[in-house]
Amino acid sequence: MLQAHLHQIERVNAAVNAVVTLTAESAAARAGELDDAIVRSGPVGPLHGIPVAHKDLVETNGVRTTYGSPLFSRNVPDRDAAVVERMAGAGAVSLGKTNTPEFGAGSQTFNQLFGATRNPYDLTKTAGGSSGGAAAALAAHMVALADGSDLGGSLRNPASFCNVVGFRPTPGLVSKWPTASGFSYDVSGPMGRRVEDVALLLSVLAGDDPRTPFALPVDGEVFAPPLEAARAEVRVAWSRNLGELPVATSVTHVLESAGRSAMLALGWQVDEVEPDFAGADEAFRTWRAWYQAFELGEVYRAHPDAFKPDLADEIERGFALGGDDLSRAERLRQGVYARVQRLLSRYDVLACPVSPVTPFPVEIPWVTEIDGVAQHTYLDWMRCSYFVTVTTLPAVSVPCGFTDDGLPVGLQLVGRPRGDLRLLGIARAFEDATGAWRRLPESIGSGRQPGSAPA
């Protein structure tokens, strides 16, 4: 299995640029150990032998971790982050690190160290971000599972762009150690090609961690396959644009023709509802600026010229925030949560766009216009995802369909509070109904057949 994936990396990674640090030798040693373990005592855990990769924001013991910044080009941590520990403990084989934008800022994966990650479905387009390297590696069958993180959509946007699944769990479900902050907008989570793959990885990642005070005491085994697809009628609040946001016609067409039609064919109740996200934009931008200053302020002060302008501006805004700004942002967040929670007391799931656009040219840093509506900052076009972040509810991007020119479009499903398992079951049923995951990237050739078994 390892050699098959290393061969695929050799075939396609030069074009896609998803895996930026390859650890083939240590992976081979690990695979040998796992082969021996099978003979001695049986499988190590539920991920025994499965090839994985870790986002280059995640600390990996003895393996370069750059955060996408030249400042850390030679950084080699002496510890593993919790997600790395748990994947290894479950028997996974790490092949290395996946590309990310500088410090994970933005939903387009490019940086000065490694360049841009390209979309396996169209090598002239972006894979999204900030977990763009993970999504592209999955889509191109270079790895079977991957971890990612999500502040403003970094698990969901690249999943939508690359026709894979990205799951944003309830904050605290997956430990963020060594980060000890209780900041609930930023989470770690699983990515895979199928919903059941994601549930498998979540079963390993989820659970308490005494090293951080904000991990939930949940037994990850509840997510272990087989994942039951939702069978009873599901009540869906169908939102075209989250009440106010510009969404490209091409995206709406796919979501309506493929996504909504699939739900109706399943016999689900689908009502057009536009939720009230008033205040979400200000709440997110205020808390994000605070968090960027909190996390990166010390490095920025020491090396201000080493940061890209968009991120530098955000950090400066974080420095300028006061108590009144944060109090207002938190009141707005609470209002958004209360309104969406009331909506979901009547519906099982909110369905809405992940991204308002399809994958765009890889040379463009960020989207500046959506169907004639100007986007003024590198965050503007990400609102479909980060409005949902403000709710702190679990959310997943599931492959939905393709545009006429062959570009993937995902659908975002938002679950009830602490409703991660139920949400995955709904996503599994939707995935089965559309079958969009079966369409492989023709430009790179995956070497696998549609319908191949999940990881």
pLDDT in tens, 2-11: 999 999 999 9
In a domain, 449, yes or no: no
Structure-block tokens of residue 367: 């989207």
Q: Which of 130, 203, 355, 397 is catalytic?
A: 130
Residue owning tokens 């599931």? 398
310 in Cβ contact with 378 (< 8 Å): yes
In one-letter notation, the amino acid at residue 202 is L
pTM higher than the cut 0.95: yes
The C-alpha atoms of residue 3 and residue 95 are separated, in whole angstroms, by 11
The pLDDT of residue 453 is 39
Q: Which of 74, 133, 90, 140 is nearest to 108 (CA)?
A: 133
Let me know if 94 is a catalytic residue: no
The pLDDT of residue 448 is 45
Q: Place 454 in a pLDDT band, splitting at 50, 70 and 90.
A: very low
132 has pLDDT over 50: yes
In the predicted model, what is the mean pLDDT of the chain? Answer: 96
Element (H, E) at 238: strand 235-238
The partner residues of 349 in beta bridges, in order of sequence, read 236
The C-alpha atoms of residue 155 and residue 398 are separated, in whole angstroms, by 11
The pLDDT of residue 444 is 72
Percent of the chain with pLDDT over 90: 95
The C-alpha atoms of residue 9 and residue 340 are separated, in whole angstroms, by 42
Q: What is the pLDDT of residues 110-120, one digit of tens each?
A: 999 999 999 99
In a domain, 64, yes or no: yes
Q: Place 445 in a pLDDT band, splitting at 50, 70 and 90.
A: low
The partner residues of 395 in beta bridges, in order of sequence, read 168, 414
The pLDDT of residue 455 is 43
Backbone dihedral angles phi then psi of residue 340, each to the nearest 5 degrees? -70, -35
The C-alpha atoms of residue 280 and residue 244 are separated, in whole angstroms, by 12
Q: What is the pLDDT of residues 27-82, one digit of tens each?
A: 999 999 999 999 999 999 999 999 999 999 999 999 999 999 999 999 999 999 99
Q: Which domain holds residue 99?
A: 2-438
In a domain, 259, yes or no: yes
The pLDDT of residue 451 is 38
- Give the Cβ contact number of residue 432 at 10 Å: 14
Polymer length of the chain: 455
For 37-46, 175-184, 218-227, which range has the lowest pLDDT when averaged over its residues?
175-184
The tally of domains found in the chain comes to 1
Structure-block tokens of residue 351: 């369905």
The pLDDT of residue 224 is 97
**The pairing of beta strand 349-353 with beta strand 408-414:** antiparallel
The domain that contains 33 carries what CATH number? 3.90.1300.10
In a domain, 230, yes or no: yes
In one-letter notation, the amino acid at residue 17 is N
Q: What is the pLDDT of residues 14-26, one digit of tens each?
A: 999 999 999 999 9
Helices (H), 224-276: 249-254, 261-265
Q: What is the pLDDT of residues 366-398, one digit of tens each?
A: 999 999 999 999 999 999 999 999 999 999 999
Q: Place 232 in a pLDDT band, splitting at 50, 70 and 90.
A: confident
The pLDDT of residue 92 is 98
Q: What is the pLDDT of residues 233-254, one digit of tens each?
A: 999 999 999 998 999 999 999 9
The pLDDT of residue 360 is 98
Q: Which of 69, 131, 149, 154 is catalytic?
A: 154
Let me know if 73 is a catalytic residue: no
Structure-block tokens of residue 102: 């500088």
446 has pLDDT over 70: no
For 50-54, 80-84, 210-214, 334-338, which range has the lowest pLDDT when averaged over its residues?
210-214
The C-alpha atoms of residue 354 and residue 383 are separated, in whole angstroms, by 9
Q: Place 449 in a pLDDT band, splitting at 50, 70 and 90.
A: very low
In a domain, 450, yes or no: no
Let me know if 154 is a catalytic residue: yes
